[in-house]
Amino acid sequence: MALKGLDIFKLTPKTNCKECGNPTCMAFAMKVAQGAVPIEKCPHMSEEAKAKLSEATAPPMKTITVGAGEAEHKLGGETVLFRHDKTFVSKTMYGVWVCEGCFDAKIDAIKAVDYERIGERMYVEMLNCKFTGDVAKYVELVKKADAAARTVILDCDDAAAAEAALEAISASKLILNGANASNYAEMSALATKYGVVLGVSGANLDELHDTVAALENAGNKNLIIDVTGADIKETFANAVEVRRAALKNQDRTFGYPSIVNLHNIAEGDTAMQTALASVFTLKYGSIIVMDGMSYAQALPLYGLRQNVFTDPQKPMKVEPGIYPLNGADENSVCVTTVDFALTYFTVNGELERSGVPLNLLISDAGGYSVLTAWAAGKFSAGSITKFIKEFDIENKIKSRTLIIPGKVAVLKGELEQNLPGWTIVVAPNEATGLVPFMKDYK
Amino acid sequence: MGFKRVPQKYSASINEVTIGVGEKAIKLGGENVKPLYSFDAEIANAPKVGAEITDEGYDRTVASLAAYYEGCETIADIAKKAAAMPGADFLAVNLEGADPNGANKSVEECAAVVSEVAGAVDVPLVIIGCKNADKNTELFNKLADLLQGKNVLFVSCKEENYKNVAASAGLAYNQKICAESAVDINLAKQLNVLISQMGLKPDTYVMNVGSAAAGYGFEYVVSTMDRVKDAALAQNDAMLQMPIFTPVSSETWSVKETIVTEEDIPEWGSRDDRAVQMEVSTAAACLAAGSNAVVLRHPESVATISKMIAALV
């Protein structure tokens, strides 16, 4: 919540010394409120006042960095509750729950899910290592998890075990999820000593709030809030209440990323975990821990996440290029459309369903839909011709038939002029008409 | 010190729309809080889950569906079996075969299927039309007459055919209708206004504000629903207070992730499993964003989603 000019004025020395370049302290305060000059321009501002100001102008939710190198991820830093208000910034991370007994059985399946979708690597980013009582075995588990090049979450409220694990893999910036009302001082000391993020949980929101406040007072602000409750209902309520308190009700104490552990509230129910992970991807889970992640679960979940965390002001685009479908070769017919991801996926899906081999040509249309791109001059006879020349299509593909979207049927004449030897065919207006059209065409 | 709770309860609420008759009738909407926020105030009616069959019954290429419906010989058997799915609140009949671009079944053929289904079950019925608006106008006209007194929901009418559908199914036969628009709050509101101007009462229609499978532009679904619910509750916009009805399965069963066979992409694993997870993920996300009812095909999806709703509300 931004401070008003008058509030800032109260913190100034009120001497009108002009050293900041402004005629009066009031004028200076007004400019600071607008963000026109930094508060440091005033040489007489007390440290206390500066701290108060930076507190007031700090983002409502902290950005916490975990992992290192390839496995580095940012969590939190959100400023809105709904993506249409601005955008979500830090995508949800998915983790898998592992223990000494099940790690070897799970790890191959975890590593198998690793693919790319519209320029984004989709894989299990975190491993939640559960402490079950044996310190030596726990250290072994944590070492194995660390070797898997994933961010490790130590799911452990035992300080001795946590220290042993931290000692074993101290180089990674992991998450120590284990502080609660009774052990937070000890756990916080450990987290600070090893420079790791501390996860805090509580029996209810009141206890959680008090524990976070106590940790902040002790100087630890590198925290994650474990919102997992006793059951599904409580967990959902916690996730929403914590995020809403931070972003809407200016409760900075809850201004941290969250972690939701589905193992604790839906153990063994795969479909339920998929459902809940989808809910928590939309509603405020920064990290979601599941019992496993099969392809069947990953395909919808990662797709959903990619959708929800796109910036509403920037359309999702696919790379321009040649996309051969249904076993197409150089003799297969060419079909073109725009690079707007939604159009691409819809058209691609229908074309695949038709079963007709073809080369889908995607040119750079600014990430707009067909009609918008056409209206903006980004999808025209000129741009398609340029793409065909630049990508050397005439040497790569022998077919001289190009199918264009029905909505830009008007381009047919100009394209035939631009591309001598090519036959331009107009497809239906809607993607839903593509299957019968392609089958008839064949 | 503790945590200061600020419950977000609104004075406006979502309209309550009843589908079906008798003991098994269901109510959609009625809540005055954001989707599933039962911690802010009690949710008047929990979101509902429908089991979907088509004019052909079910997709025989899906092994687990075939296993579920094993022994069903007639469409009536299939309807009974679908209505008996644990967690199903209503039965949806998808007449996709009526599409002139598809099997192009006649109105009479569809009517025969629907009357057999209606005779076999006592749960609330939802009729989902095909992709062709003109054909749906004809279909709904006939079926609304046929199903008089059963308080059936017709999904959907669009800008192209709302006049006919609202006049016939809505006004003449007293059935419920669903207004469909494409992921845009303004289009949704406009259609609702037009329908209300035809004389339909607020408790006689619901809306489908558009849907998509997870990964297929779902951000538009989320933002449209977020904004619609915000306008309905925070700004008391009466023209956006209709319950949201989302036929999830029609979207999820046609995407690549669900269609591709295990032979084609072995690493993706069982097609049945993928179909269920895609349906479950999309439905859960729709409910979190604002749907008051979802339609699903697989018994495991129906069971999971109804269980999730029961756990949350």
Domain end among A308, A329, A354: A308
Alpha helices (H) along chain B: 63-68, 75-83, 107-120, 133-146, 162-165, 185-197, 218-233, 248-252, 256-259, 271-289, 299-312
Question: How many domains is chain A built from?
Answer: 3
* CATH number of residue A38's parent domain: 1.10.15.40
Q: Is B36 in contact with A278 (Cβ distance < 8 A)?
A: no
For residue A306, what is the enclosing H or E element?
helix A295-308
Is A128 contained in some domain? yes
Minimal C-alpha gap between B12 and chain A (Å): 20
Helix (H, G, I), strand (E, B) or coil at B105: coil
Q: Which one, of A312, A311, A366, lies nearest residue A343 by Cα? A: A366
- The count of C-alpha atoms lying within 13 angstroms of the C-alpha of A251, restricted to the half-sphere facing its C-beta, is 22
Count Cβ atoms below 10 Å from residue B132 Cβ, excluding itself: 18
Q: What is the Cα A336 distance to its own chain's centre?
A: 30
Counting every residue, how long is chain A?
442
Q: Is A282 in contact with B267 (Cβ distance < 8 A)?
A: no
* CATH number of residue A223's parent domain: 3.20.20.20
Same domain for A269 and A172, yes or no, is: yes
A306-328: b (≥16 Cβ within 10 Å) or e: bbbbbeeeebbbbebebbebeeb
Q: Is A346 in contact with B215 (Cβ distance < 8 A)?
A: no
Q: What is the mean pLDDT of residues A322-342?
A: 91
Same domain for A377 and A243, yes or no, is: no
Q: Is A149 left (phi over 0), alpha (psi -120 to 50) or beta?
A: left
Give A99-102 contacts, CB < 8 A, sequence gap 24+.
A99/A129, A99/A130, A99/A132, A99/A141, A100/A132, A100/A134, A100/A137, A100/A138, A100/A140, A100/A141, A101/A132
Q: pLDDT by residue (tens digit) across A123-181?
A: 999 999 999 999 999 999 999 999 998 999 999 999 999 999 999 987 678 999 999 99
Beta strands in A147-195 (DSSP E): 151-155, 175-179
Same domain for A46 and A155, yes or no, is: no
First to last CA, chain A: 62
Is A340 contained in some domain? yes
- Beta strand A358-362 with A321-325 is antiparallel
Q: Is B300 in contact with A271 (Cβ distance < 8 A)?
A: yes
**In the predicted structure, residue A2 carries a pLDDT above the cut 60:** no
Same domain for A176 and A289, yes or no, is: yes
Q: Is A241 in contact with B5 (Cβ distance < 8 A)?
A: yes
Confidence of residue A30 (pLDDT cuts 50, 70, 90): confident
Q: Comparing A9-18, A50-59, A185-194, A307-316, which segment has the lowest mean pLDDT? A: A50-59
Domains by residue range for chain B, with CATH:
16-312 (3.20.20.20)
Task: Quote the pLDDT of residue A57.
Answer: 65
- Tell me whether A233 touches chain B (CB under 8 Å): yes
- Listing DSSP states for B21-71 in one string gives -GGG-EEEE---SSTT-TTTS--SS--EEEEEEETTBS-TT-HHHHHHTTT
Minimal C-alpha gap between A427 and chain B (Å): 15
Q: What is the largest CA-CA distance in chain A?
A: 85
Contacts of B68 (CB under 8 A, 6+ apart): B81, B299
- Residue B311 has its nearest CB partner, among A233, A307, A432, at A233
Find the closest chain A residue to B2 by CA distance.
A206
Confidence of residue A35 (pLDDT cuts 50, 70, 90): low
Higher per-residue pLDDT: A221 or A119: A221
A74-110: b (≥16 Cβ within 10 Å) or e: bbbbbeebbbbeeebbbbbbbbbbbbbeebeebbeeb
Is A313 contained in some domain? no
User: Which residues face A152 on adjacent strands?
Assistant: A127
Q: What angle do CA A134, A140, A146 make, to 5 degrees?
A: 130
Q: Comparing A37-41, A347-351, B78-82, B231-235, which segment has the lowest mean pLDDT? A: A37-41
Minimal C-alpha gap between A13 and chain B (Å): 34
CA distance B312 to B37: 8
Task: Quote the pLDDT of residue A185.
Answer: 95
Same domain for A214 and A275, yes or no, is: yes
Q: What is the mean pLDDT of residues A322-347?
A: 91
B:217-256 residues touching chain A, CB 8 A cutoff: 217-220, 222-223, 226-227, 230, 254-256
- Tell me whether A119 touches chain B (CB under 8 Å): no
Is A15 contained in some domain? yes
Same domain for A38 and A70, yes or no, is: no
| Residue from A272, A273, A325, A346 to probe the interface with B (highest B Cβ count within 10 Å) | A272
Same domain for A383 and A430, yes or no, is: yes
Q: pLDDT by residue (tens digit) across A356-413?
A: 999 999 999 988 889 999 998 999 999 999 999 999 999 999 999 999 999 999 999 9
Contacts of A295 in chain B (CB under 8 A): 267-269, 274
Alpha helices (H) along B44-172: 63-68, 75-83, 107-120, 133-146, 162-165
CA distance B62 to B313: 32
Same domain for A249 and A112, yes or no, is: yes
Find the closest chain B residue to A344 by CA distance.
B216
**In the predicted structure, residue A315 carries a pLDDT above the cut 80:** no
**In the predicted structure, residue A272 carries a pLDDT above the cut 70:** yes
Q: Is B305 exposed, middle or buried (0-12, 13-18, 19+ CB in 10 A)?
A: buried
Q: pLDDT by residue (tens digit) across A387-396?
A: 999 999 999 9
Same domain for A338 and A400, yes or no, is: yes
Find the closest chain A residue to B227 by CA distance.
A84
Same domain for A28 and A70, yes or no, is: no
Q: What is the mean pLDDT of residues B6-30?
A: 96
Q: Is A282 in contact with B285 (Cβ distance < 8 A)?
A: yes
Is A329 contained in some domain? yes
Q: What is the mean pLDDT of residues B238-246?
A: 98
Rounded to 5 degrees, φ, ψ at A260 are: -120, 125
Provide the number of CB pairs (under 8 Å) joining chain A to chain B.
178
Mean pLDDT value across chain A: 91
Q: CA distances (Å), A134 to each of A102, A147, A167, A371, B32, in order?
A: 15, 20, 16, 63, 50
B:72-101 residues touching chain A, CB 8 A cutoff: 101
Same domain for A268 and A171, yes or no, is: yes
Q: pLDDT by residue (tens digit) across B142-194?
A: 999 999 999 999 998 999 999 999 999 999 999 999 999 999 999 999 999 99
Is A315 contained in some domain? no
Q: Comparing A51-60, A128-137, A328-337, B85-94, which segment has the lowest mean pLDDT? A: A51-60
Is A314 contained in some domain? no
Minimal C-alpha gap between A109 and chain B (Å): 10
Q: Which one, of B72, B73, B92, lies nearest residue B81 by Cα? A: B72
- Residue A275 has its nearest CB partner, among B37, B101, B308, at B308
- Tell me whether B307 touches chain A (CB under 8 Å): yes
Contacts of A353 in chain B (CB under 8 A): 254, 259
Q: Can you give the residue range of the structural domain that contains A92?
A: 63-308
Task: Quote the pLDDT of residue A53.
Answer: 74
Is A185 contained in some domain? yes
Contacts of A163 (CB under 8 A, 6+ apart): A190
Share of chain A above pLDDT 90, in %: 71
First to last CA, chain B: 29
Confidence of residue A69 (pLDDT cuts 50, 70, 90): confident
Q: What is the largest CA-CA distance in chain B?
A: 69
Rounded to 5 degrees, φ, ψ at A96 are: -115, 140
Same domain for A304 and A357, yes or no, is: no
Contact present, A309 and A284 (Cβ < 8 Å) = no
* CATH number of residue A360's parent domain: 3.40.50.11600
Contacts of A60 (CB under 8 A, 6+ apart): A1, A79, A246, A247, A250, A252, A255
Task: Quote the pLDDT of residue A71.
Answer: 75
Task: Quote the pLDDT of residue B34.
Answer: 97
Confidence of residue A1 (pLDDT cuts 50, 70, 90): very low
Minimal C-alpha gap between A211 and chain B (Å): 9
- Residue A304 has its nearest CB partner, among B214, B220, B269, at B214
Q: CA distances (Å), B236 to each of A121, A171, B109, in order?
A: 42, 54, 44
Minimal C-alpha gap between A439 and chain B (Å): 13
**In the predicted structure, residue A51 carries a pLDDT above the cut 80:** no
Packing angle, helices A135-147 and A103-112, rounded to 10: 10
